[in-house]
Amino acid sequence: MHITGIEDLVIGAAAVAGLVFLLVVIVLTAATTLMVRRVRRRWQALRRPVHLRPSGSRLSTRVPAIDRRRLAATGASLATTLASARWWATQRDRHRMWRAVTAAKHAVAVARRSGAPVGDLPALASRLEAAARSADALARAAALSPRGGAPASTDARQIEEAALEMHRAAVDSLQAVTTAEVSPLLPSVLLEVQAVTAGIRAVSALRRPAT
């Protein structure tokens, strides 16, 4: 259990680092796109003949600076997001929910392909995934809400618990089938091995020259 807790912490830290990296990439991409578009418009205006340029236009060969106000607003929003404990808790709950749902779907699919009895679990797995998508959208929308995101977190935890139960049921079904196949096989294998070994010894004794 202690090892599992450490693994959860490591996985959660990796997910958080990935989200931070993704947010940084989004901000840099937005800033770069904005700058490229402004430079492209200015370049096209510079290439336009003078008599076609709008009257009173002041074109300069200098590349305009990035809109600092827009970048400042984006940076402030990012800083607010990263400083929110509720936002980090929401990301943790979302990660745990999706990990449980993915594991449950995989276990049900494997059990079904293996011929283990799964009942309505495949259909329920599809419904569970749809519910997880709705809960995920709610969690993302409520993550920074000043009113709190407790209902969203509650839904995510309930879906996680349902997925864990579904995973356990699929694994138990596979275990029952595997045990039923393996238990009677082992004695038969051991008996056959003993018979083959005895036959080999008998043949070896017949071929051994008399002294």
Q: What is the pTM of this model?
A: 0.54
Q: Are 153 and 90 in contact (CB under 8 A)?
A: yes
DSSP of 1-58: -HHHHHHHHHHHHHHHHHHHHHHHHHHHHHHHHHHHHHHHHHHHHHHS-GGGSPTT--
At 39 the pLDDT is: 72
Average pLDDT of span 181-196 = 84
At 188 the pLDDT is: 84
Alpha helices, DSSP H only, in 48-149?
A: 68-82, 85-113, 121-142
Average pLDDT of span 110-139 = 93
Answer whether residue 116 shows pLDDT above 50: yes
Q: Are 102 and 162 in contact (CB under 8 A)?
A: no
Answer whether residue 30 shows pLDDT above 80: no
Query: Which range among 30-34, 101-105, 176-180, 184-188 has the greatest average pLDDT?
Result: 101-105
At 89 the pLDDT is: 78
Long-range own/partner contacts, residues 36-41 (CB < 8 A, 24 or more apart): 38/64, 38/66, 38/67, 39/63, 39/64
DSSP of 101-113: HHHHHHHHHHHHH
Amino acid at 141: A
Which of 24, 18, 153 minimizes the C-alpha distance to 85? 153
At 164 the pLDDT is: 95
Structure tokens at 146: 């000043």
Quick: pLDDT tens for 127-180. Answer: 999 999 999 888 888 776 655 555 667 888 999 999 999 999 999 999 998 888
